[in-house]
Amino acid sequence: MDTGTHVVMGVALGGIATMDPLVSSDPALFNAVLIGTLVGSQAPDIDTVLKLKNNAVYIRHHRGITHSIPAVILWGISIPSIIYLFTPEVNFLHLWLWTFLAVILHVFVDIFNAYGTQAYRPITNRWVAYGFINTFDPYIFTLHLAGIVAWNLGASPGLMWLIIYFVIALYYVKRYFDKRELVRLIHENFDHVTQIATSPTIQQNVWRIAITTPTHYFVGRAENGHLTILDEFPNKEIDYEDPVVKKALTDHNIKAFLSFSPVYRYEISYHDEYTEVRFIDLRYRARGRYPFVALAQIDDEHGEQLKILNSYTGWVFTEEKLQNKLSPMETKP
């Protein structure tokens, strides 16, 4: 989920914690628990700072190890321990319990959007992305805002937040069945489907879809139960024997993209000074473009002495912006 939703979830969990008799009867413990749920609801996303280094590092590691099973355990122990250093009079067990629950909730809700997490690491490094809740869901966020307002107006937080989370749980079930119906519809209309990537949008009944068959990729939208295919591409295997492609696959930006993207196509274009190998994620079509890409520009005019001149991976919405993000071409001798 987005940062704002994680914040309001931390507040909500602090409210639910008031149903714990020890928390409700001890103001110091309540304040410590509220801090713990707020920090715990944000801690796994500390890897966002990796974006300051470069996109490749960020893409390869965001929602990776910081959302893994060992990390969840580490956050669950370290955060309440630090809080306890400043409030040694509170009950550590209850502080730990609610903080740990906040960390678990953060990782749990992240697995339901299209981006996903490596939540099962180290059991498996695969990305878990069930793809039926949008990264920012206005219904979930609005319910939390309404709960915060009601709490400030004097509503009993414990029971109120339980009711809100019961409604949200029903909403998750509803979205699960929405996706299942969408998958059924796709299988009815396409033969030999090997993979389906779904990306819900802010609009409740509109989905982005990317369908893989042995021969083609189909990219489109589903709206109110109707499928519209917007683009179709041949399912072309990567030519691992092509020296230029092999060189591109050694680049850190390309490696980061391939470690994350489950459905993509690639293309090779030839220019006067270089050959470009570009990988294009098919899940995020927007305004007729595919903004999540990785590319490498390779000098191939010196026989086997191939050299990567430029490379990039990330989200860009125009070709002009993409070219601006590439470093200046090196002057060839």
As a whole number of angstroms, the longest Cα–Cα distance in the chain is: 77
Q: Across residues 316-331, what is the average pLDDT?
A: 72
Domain ranges of the chain: 3-163, 190-234, 243-325
Residue of 132, 69, 129, 57 whose CA lies nearest to 103: 69
Interhelix angle 27-40/92-110, rounded to 10 degrees, is 30
* pLDDT 10s digits, 77-89: 999 999 999 999 9
Q: Any bridge partners for residue 275, and if so which?
A: 270, 298
* pLDDT 10s digits, 37-56: 999 999 999 888 887 778 88
Record the pTM: 0.86
128 by DSSP, 3-state: which?
strand
> How far is the C-alpha of 265 from the C-alpha of 237, rounded, in Å?
9
* pLDDT 10s digits, 243-295: 999 999 999 999 999 988 889 999 999 888 889 999 999 998 988 899 999 99
Return all residues near 214 (Cβ < 8 A) that are at least 6 apart. 192, 194, 235
Average pLDDT, the chain: 91
219: how many CB neighbours lie within 10 A of its CB?
Answer: 21
pLDDT confidence tier of residue 304, bands split at 50, 70 and 90: low
Q: Which residues of 256-286 are buried (b: 16+ CB within 10 A; e: fewer)?
A: bbbebbbbbbbeeeeeeebbbbbbbbbbbbe
* pLDDT 10s digits, 114-157: 888 889 999 988 888 899 999 999 999 999 999 999 999 999 99
* pLDDT 10s digits, 60-109: 778 888 899 999 999 999 999 999 999 999 999 999 999 999 999 999 99
> Does the pLDDT of residue 331 top 60, yes or no?
no
> Does the pLDDT of residue 333 top 60, yes or no?
no
Would you state the structure tokens that stand for residue 290, as one six-digit string?
Answer: 């595919």
262 phi-psi bin (left φ>0, alpha ψ -120 to 50, beta other)? alpha
Would you state the structure tokens that stand for residue 225, as one six-digit string?
Answer: 């139960």
* pLDDT 10s digits, 156-215: 999 999 999 999 999 999 999 999 999 999 999 999 999 999 999 988 889 999 999 999
What are the DSSP calls for 10-59, one per residue?
Answer: HHHHHHHGGGSHHHHH-HHHHHHHHHHHHHHTTGGGGGGGGGGT-HHHHH
268 by DSSP, 3-state: which?
strand
251: how many CB neighbours lie within 10 A of its CB?
Answer: 22
**pLDDT score recorded for residue 328:** 53
Torsion, Cα of 42, 44, 50, 52 (10° steps): 0
**pLDDT score recorded for residue 332:** 39
Query: Half-sphere exposure (CA, 13 Å, Cβ side) for 33?
Result: 28
pLDDT confidence tier of residue 217, bands split at 50, 70 and 90: very high
